């Protein structure tokens, strides 16, 4: 038995085939790399030619390379935020719309296998696209300023974001019958995570600073920092600049010698791991209306089911 037969279950195998057989897959990869490539080239052009007051060209140094890395990273984060819901928010509802779900549910594949395989196949495709952008990042390496460790941690962070948005997409796809509704809800939650948390942080931190700007002894700790820990951009920034975490928890320059209670990216990972697990649990519970009863219930077999027993484990 070769490894693929052992590790790739039928649902995953089918998903891989279906996804990669359409020209859309290759087109998506190509357009994605092109978009990121244009951003990189655009940044280089702007820093070398447009930002030069002397009229000539400016040398592209390691500092600029680091700045380009940040620009690419945030651009990619935004692109993942757009791509992940589109790839995952229809995985179950589209099967329902195409009328293939009922047949899949009468096979021996467990609910967990179906949900995780669907998610994994979407994640694999997203990972393929993101890894395909590595050559664009190689421009950064040419000029230095970024370590391979930072690149690896960035890509792991991307994987986590994909997992988060993917799990939410799969959950809404399982709950809602129509793909369009599932996509809208997933994007709405995505906007909340990416935008609302950031805006909330900015609003509350400015309020905090206003309140304590004239104080002789400003408080040594600000809980507002926890809100930025829920924002992917904030968490990503703390990966590159760990000092950020310290500054968001200790505003007005107070107690800057004290460590942050938690790194923003750690808070982000902890909170959203719970969200991921919860989303997958709900998806697995919701996909099949009829599930095996718990052991103690099987003992009393002849019991007539009540409508409240709607989901049986």
Partner 1 sequence: MIEISNLSKRYGNFDALKDINLTISKGTVFGFVGPNGAGKSTTMSILATLVLPSSGTARVGGYEVTEYPKEVRKKIGYMPDFFGVYDQLKTIEYLHFYGASYNIPRSEREKLIPQLLDLVNLSDKSDSYVDSLSRGMKQRLCLARCLVHDPEVLILDEPASGLDPRARIEMREILKELKLMGKTIIISSHILPELAEMVDEIGVIEHGVMVAQGKVSDIQNRLRVKKILHIRTMERQEELTAFLRDEAFVSGVLSDNTGVHVHFSGGEEEQASLLQQMISLGYPVLSFNEAQTNLEDVFLEITKGGLGQ
Binding site for partner 1 (CB under 8 A): 5, 9-11, 13-14, 17-18, 21-22, 98-100, 102-109, 288-293, 297-298, 301-302, 304-307, 309-312
Helix (H, G, I), strand (E, B) or coil at 215: coil
Region for 236 from its dihedrals, namely left if φ exceeds 0, alpha if ψ lies in -120 to 50, beta otherwise: alpha
Q: How far is the CB of 118 from partner 1 (least distance, A)?
A: 13
Per the structure block, which two tokens stand in for 136?
């664009």
Nearer to partner 1, 54 or 301 (CB): 301
Q: How far is the CB of 181 from partner 1 (least distance, A)?
A: 20
Q: What is the DSSP string of 4-56?
A: HHHHS-HHHHHHHHHHHTSHHHHHHHHHHHHHHHHHHHHHHHIIIIIT-TTSS
Q: How far is the CB of 290 from partner 1 (least distance, A)?
A: 5
Q: What is the CA radius of gyration of the chain?
A: 24
Nearer to partner 1, 12 or 193 (CB): 12
Q: How far is the CB of 171 from partner 1 (least distance, A)?
A: 20
Nearer to partner 1, 8 or 275 (CB): 8
Nearer to partner 1, 257 or 302 (CB): 302
Helix (H, G, I), strand (E, B) or coil at 211: helix
Q: How far is the CB of 21 from partner 1 (least distance, A)?
A: 5
Nearer to partner 1, 179 or 197 (CB): 179
Name which of 57, 55, 39, 38 is nearest 47 in CA terms: 57
- The residue length of the chain stands at 313
Q: How far is the CB of 305 from partner 1 (least distance, A)?
A: 6
* Contact call for residues 161 and 193 (beta carbons, < 8 A): no
Nearer to partner 1, 114 or 189 (CB): 114
């Amino acid at each position: 038995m070769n490894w693929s037969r052992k590790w790739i279950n039928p649902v995953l195998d089918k998903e891989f085939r279906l996804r990669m057989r359409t020209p859309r897959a290759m087109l998506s990869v190509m357009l994605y790399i092109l978009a990121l490539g244009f951003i990189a080239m655009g940044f280089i052009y702007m820093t070398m030619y447009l930002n030069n007051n002397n009229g000539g060209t400016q040398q592209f140094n390691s500092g600029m390379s680091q700045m380009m890395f940040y620009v690419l990273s945030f651009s990619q984060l935004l692109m993942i935020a757009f791509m992940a819901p589109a790839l995952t928010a229809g995985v179950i509802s589209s099967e329902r719309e195409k009328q293939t779900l009922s047949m899949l549910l009468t096979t021996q594949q467990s609910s967990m296998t179906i949900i995780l395989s669907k998610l994994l196949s979407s994640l694999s495709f997203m990972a393929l696209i993101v890894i395909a952008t590595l050559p664009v990042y190689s421009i950064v390496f040419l000029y230095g300023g970024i370590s391979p460790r930072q690149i690896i941690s960035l890509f792991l962070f991307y994987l986590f974001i994909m997992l988060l948005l993917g799990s939410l997409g799969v959950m809404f796809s399982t709950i809602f019958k129509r793909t369009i509704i599932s996509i809208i809800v997933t994007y709405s939650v995505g906007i909340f995570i990416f935008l609302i948390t950031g805006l909330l942080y900015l609003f509350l931190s400015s309020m905090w600073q206003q309140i304590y700007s004239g104080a002789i002894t400003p408080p040594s700790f600000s809980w507002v920092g926890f809100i930025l820990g829920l924002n992917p951009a904030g968490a990503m920034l703390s990966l590159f600049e760990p000092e950020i975490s310290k500054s968001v928890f200790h505003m007005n320059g107070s107690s800057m010698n004290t460590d942050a209670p938690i790194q923003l990216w750690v808070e982000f990972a902890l909170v959203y791991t719970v969200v991921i697990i919860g989303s997958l649990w709900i998806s697995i519970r919701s996909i099949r209306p009829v599930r095996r009863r718990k052991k103690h219930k099987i003992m009393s077999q002849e019991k007539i089911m009540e409508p409240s027993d709607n989901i049986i484990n």
